[in-house]
Amino acid sequence: MNLRDLRYLVAVGDQRHFGRAAKACFVSQPTLSAQVKKLEEYLGVQLVERGTRQVLLTPTGEEVVARARAVLNQVDDIVELCRAAAEPMTGELRLGAIPTLAPYLLPHLVATATEAWPRLRMLLYEERTALLVERLRKGELDGALMAMPVAGDDLASVAVFEEPFVLALPADHALAEAKRAPRPEALPEDELLLLEEGHCLRDQALEVCQLAGDAGGTSCFRATSLETLRQMVAAGVGMTLLPRLAGQAGCEIPNQSAVKLLPFSPPVPTRTIGLYWRKGAARASTLEAVAAAIRDLRVVQEQARPIEPAAAG
């Protein structure tokens, strides 16, 4: 049994298809299939159920894949540890971020990182929290920027900044002339627009406004992105809560004059953005340097409150 065979098996577990698994491993399908079969013979147990339309793992196969994935992550971390010890700010860094943050923060980060660390190549991924966590655990990502807290004893994290929410409402709304937004719990529930299920920002908005999970407007409309929400507000459909970075970024869009942004009075509702990685990951020091760079970004300094490591607890 060798690491190559374990990688082949994990690819089969991920793809549930020998052809796609072979493509992911850059080998021919007969080669991959033969090696998985040899692995089964070596272990003396069937790991894969081979059907005409799909490939399934046996219960033992599922357990072996889970353990093999952990072993391969450890091996990859050994390699990265040695690289990072010599040159921590070089090579590829696979960084994920939630969709309600990525477009408004990552362009600023990349511009800074390109100048500060020219030999560090950032590969950026935009996914919802659940998928980011899954990809972290699989070793497909080195780090992920997510709203805190995120459950998982196998993950390490550092708080990066606290971001306030603002209220976005149509410019001709009765509340638009106010200097401050009403208290979140006092917002008219039938006018509140939310993201669809699965977005952490939806849950945060419901919590801030002290609403039940099925609340948020009288229509069945649910947005898939903050920009869709912004356009719905501009069209006069309703109001929504926006993270401040997203709200200020929207000031450049053509119809922004149709949207009024109101700050909240203290205590201002906020969310905390943290950078997560696997405990023991080799690139932890690299990610901590990235977190420090994010805190120093002008957009974060002006629109949010950086959280220094000592203050993060």
Determine the Cα–Cα distance for residues 193 and 225; give it in Å rounded to an integer.
11
- Same domain as 241, residue 166: yes
Last residue of a domain, one of 35, 59, 83: 83
9 and 126 co-located in one domain: no
- Domain containing 226 equals 90-313
Q: With contact defined as beta carbons under 8 Å apart, do 158 and 274 qualify?
A: yes
Q: What pLDDT is recorded for position 311? A: 47
- What CATH number does the domain containing 185 carry? 3.40.190.290
Q: For residue 119, give both structure tokens.
A: 């030999």
| Residues 38 and 163 occupy one common structural domain | no
Determine the pLDDT at residue 190.
86
In 3D space, the residue among 207, 206, 208 whose CA is nearest the CA of residue 196 turns out to be 206
Domain boundary among 54, 83, 112: 83
Closest CA to 312 of 207, 97, 101, 162: 162
CATH of the domain at 59: 1.10.10.10
| Secondary element (H or E) of residue 144 | strand 143-147
Is residue 269 within 8 A of residue 129, CB to CB? The reply is: no
pLDDT in tens, the chain (313 residues): 899 999 999 999 999 999 999 999 999 999 999 999 999 999 999 999 987 677 899 999 999 999 999 999 888 888 877 776 677 888 889 999 999 999 999 999 999 999 999 999 999 999 999 999 999 998 999 999 999 999 989 999 999 999 999 999 999 999 999 999 999 989 888 889 988 877 888 888 888 887 755 555 545 467 888 989 999 999 999 999 999 999 888 665 666 788 999 999 999 999 999 999 999 888 899 999 999 999 999 999 999 999 998 644 3
- Is the same domain home to 63 and 110? no
Picking from 83, 117, 132, the residue at the C-terminal end of a domain is 83
Number of separate domains in the chain: 2
Judgement on whether residues 174 and 304 belong to the same structural domain of the protein: yes
Question: Is the entire prediction scored with pTM above 0.85?
Answer: no
Residues 294 and 155 in one domain: yes
206 and 95 share one domain: yes
The answer on 105 and 62 residing in a single domain is no
- Residue 143 backbone zone (phi > 0: left; psi -120 to 50: alpha; other: beta): beta
Q: What are phi and psi of 110, to 5 degrees?
A: -60, -40
Domain identity same for 158 and 38: no
